[in-house]
Structure 1
Amino acid sequence: MWPNTFLTLLLGLALVTASAALVTPRQTEGAPWLVIDSDFPDPSFVQAPDGSWYAFGTNGNDRRVQVAVSQDFRTWDLLDIEALPQLAPWETAIDHWAPDVILRPDGRYVMYYSGEAQSRVGHHCVGVAVSEDTDPRGPYIPNPEPLSCRLPQGGSIDPSGFLDADGSRYVVFKVDGNSIGNGGDCNNGIAPLVPTPILLQEVSAIDGFTPIGDAVEILDRSTEDNDGPLVEAPNLILVGATYFLFYSTHCFTDELYDVRYATATSIRGPYVKSDERLLQTGDFGLTSPGGGTVCGCGDRMLFHGFCQEGVRCTYAANLQIDEQAGSVGFV
């Protein structure tokens, strides 16, 4: 994910032909529907014990971390609150991207997020914040140290939590290699292209953030798979005995931005990329859909797409996953 300052500059090039044709997705059976008609990129969500759903989005609407709520997953309300009112000592006050929230065994919530590093402005670390109490809306208090930085490789962004069937907890995230690329498409379109791997980090199942061992690479961009300059926005779920890793490819300002998935029978892979894109520009009238988060139950998702020039609204969809075929579809 890239800051809004870059977005304004890049949209003129990447969405010249698309900006005049941005439309609301067609409301047909199985189609995604608009749920937050406002700038709410990179949506993730968690369900509270009372059954309500809470979504969290990249900075926008004068908030570092935005929050929305739904009782039925169909209609959503954007809340007038700041989920991350405090900053950790390592981060700046801008560009908080792609928050993801998980429920801990003690009833508190843990938020993983991307924050800009003071030590290398323009590059990011994965931070962790814990809810002050058992309210999923926060406020979230940041840990003094980040979970991952990897600044020499470009930084760490787009974290997403995952609880495995055996009770082990993980965080998947992207190494932001394109932030140190050689220019061109999303700063990584000119050879030599820099790796943008997705890593898997085991963490303590008790606190949700203490690393266990080293992170391992589970996916990266490739020319053969037409991933463009990067892969990003990972989200991992388990259906039966199959792991489904959802992710986006290409630059988020590009019409080629999409949602794809790969499958594996072991959490550490190897992950095999599907030949089919789950969502791409033109599907259901969408433009540049991406940043998809799928429920661990496997039957619903949130994602963003351009709803007007420079604005990424949030959409919801109902899914059906066939574990045996390793396929994902809309219902």
Structure 2
Amino acid sequence: MWSSQLLPCAIGLASITNVLAFPLLDLKMGPVKVLDTDFPDPSFVQAADGTWYAFGSNGNGKRIQIASSPDFKTWTLLDKEALPTLAGWETNIDHWAPDVIRRDDGKYVMYYSGEAKEELRHHCVGVAVSEGTDPTGPYLPNTEPLSCHLAQGGSIDPAGFLDKDGSRYVVYKVDGNSIGHGGDCNNGVDPLVSTPILLQKVKSDGFTPDGDAVSILDRDQSDGPLVEAPNLILHEDTYFLFYSTHCYTDIQYDVRYATSKSITGPYIKTGNQLVKSGEYDLTSPGGGTVCGCGDRMLFHGFCREDVRCTYAADISIVGDQVYLL
């Protein structure tokens, strides 16, 4: 996850002057497929030398996948396992939605979803810290997870955030649909289960909880069975919480965003679909991660049967509105 401690981002395809003057002008260039392989739930971080690194859910024989890019346009899948060892609480399967931040000491912290041995088919949010200052790892997992909420379905989809005052946070989803009553993503049959997005403040190490987690968003009828894949950024004086709605296999899966003037909310859903099926030949796009500088993003979408490729897109934020370029 990008944070303000990283290098400044380049301006997107359209000049900021033009976007500010004509925010509704049809300037769309559209997303570009940058990894033509199964690389779901992409997140990214920029290293001190300017290189970008993306991290994806298990696939291609790896628990946590890594790709790199010198310019955010050309990406290369690396033949390296980011998480070669596991903690005692997790099984060896289903490592989902990793997110990486660079810490003040130059090391990197990875948040990820791992299956809990205590309750199979349910997940906890794990934390692993890089051995050195190489963003590709290896990452060594902490002995205890950051969050589980197993009674409510588990915890998944973590993402780190560095606020303007230097405070660190992690957002994640309580996976309520995993204990739903069937139907779409196991939560399409009444009574539908809550799938809240929680905000956990952490200390400077990136993983020690500082107070209790607070709920900042939840599903409603417009979201289908769930909200998930949260990603939090601050642009000027507005917090933007990006998230996906509906089931990842559903044609309605998308990336939306809510806004707030306070880190803890309330977050107001805009209903705007930043990426959705049917545009730019996308199918079930979601799991989006947006750069904190507000000019680029990565997300996945089905490119072949059972294969979710990674796409890059330029965006622009004007006030409390986000535009795909």
The equivalent of 2:64 in structure 1 is: 65
Mapped partners of 1:204, 1:82: distance in 2: 27
Amino acid aligned to 1:265? K
* Ranges in structure 1 where 5+ consecutive residues have no aligned partner: 1-27
Question: How much does 1:163 deviate?
Answer: 0.2
> Percent sequence identity over matched residues?
72
Mapped partners of 1:33, 1:159: distance in 2: 25
Look up the SS of the partner of 1:178 in the other structure: helix
State the TM-score, normalizing by the size of structure 2.
0.91
Amino acid aligned to 2:144? E
Mapped partners of 1:275, 1:234: distance in 2: 15
The equivalent of 2:178 in structure 1 is: 179
Of 303, 307, 328, the match for 2:322: 328
The equivalent of 2:245 in structure 1 is: 249
The equivalent of 1:89 in structure 2 is: 88
Q: 1:191 to 1:29 in 2, by over 3 A?
A: closer
Look up the SS of the partner of 1:262 in the other structure: strand
Matches within 5 A, 1:22-37: 29-37=28-36
Question: How much does 1:30 deviate?
Answer: 2.1
Look up the SS of the partner of 1:61 in the other structure: coil
1:46 aligned onto 2:45: yes
State the TM-score, normalizing by the size of structure 1.
0.90
Mapped partners of 1:31, 1:164: distance in 2: 30
Write out per-residue CA displacement over residues 242-264 of structure 1, whole angstroms, 9 at most, x where no aligned residue: 00000000000000000000000
The equivalent of 1:154 in structure 2 is: 153
The equivalent of 1:277 in structure 2 is: 273
Mapped partners of 1:322, 1:168: distance in 2: 25
The equivalent of 1:235 in structure 2 is: 231
Write out per-residue CA displacement over residues 206-232 of structure 1, whole angstroms, 9 at most, x where no aligned residue: x10000000000000001xx1000000
Write out per-residue CA displacement over residues 295-330 of structure 1, whole angstroms, 9 at most, x where no aligned residue: 11111000000000110000000110012xx11112
Matches within 5 A, 1:177-326: 177-205=176-204, 207-223=205-221, 226-323=222-319, 326=320
Amino acid aligned to 1:87? L
> How many residues are treated as equivalent by the alignment?
299
* Ranges in structure 2 where 5+ consecutive residues have no aligned partner: 1-26
Mapped partners of 1:106, 1:279: distance in 2: 36
Look up the SS of the partner of 2:106 in the other structure: coil
Mapped partners of 2:130, 2:174: distance in 1: 26
Runs of 4+ in 1 over 2 A off after TM superposition: none
Mapped partners of 1:329, 1:285: distance in 2: 18
Question: How much does 1:29 deviate?
Answer: 4.8
Amino acid aligned to 1:329? Y
Mapped partners of 2:183, 2:28: distance in 1: 39
Mapped partners of 1:175, 1:29: distance in 2: 34
Mapped partners of 1:199, 1:276: distance in 2: 21
The equivalent of 1:11 in structure 2 is: none
Mapped partners of 1:30, 1:196: distance in 2: 34
Look up the SS of the partner of 1:172 in the other structure: strand
Mapped partners of 2:102, 2:301: distance in 1: 27
Amino acid aligned to 2:182? G
Question: How much does 1:193 deviate?
Answer: 0.6
Amino acid aligned to 1:83? A
Look up the SS of the partner of 1:214 in the other structure: coil
Amino acid aligned to 2:127? V
Amino acid aligned to 2:251? E
The equivalent of 1:8 in structure 2 is: none
Write out per-residue CA displacement over residues 263-313 of structure 1, whole angstroms, 9 at most, x where no aligned residue: 000010000101321111011110000000001111100000000011000
Mapped partners of 2:45, 2:287: distance in 1: 15
Mapped partners of 1:56, 1:233: distance in 2: 14
Mapped partners of 1:49, 1:32: distance in 2: 26
Look up the SS of the partner of 1:147 in the other structure: coil
Look up the SS of the partner of 2:220 in the other structure: coil
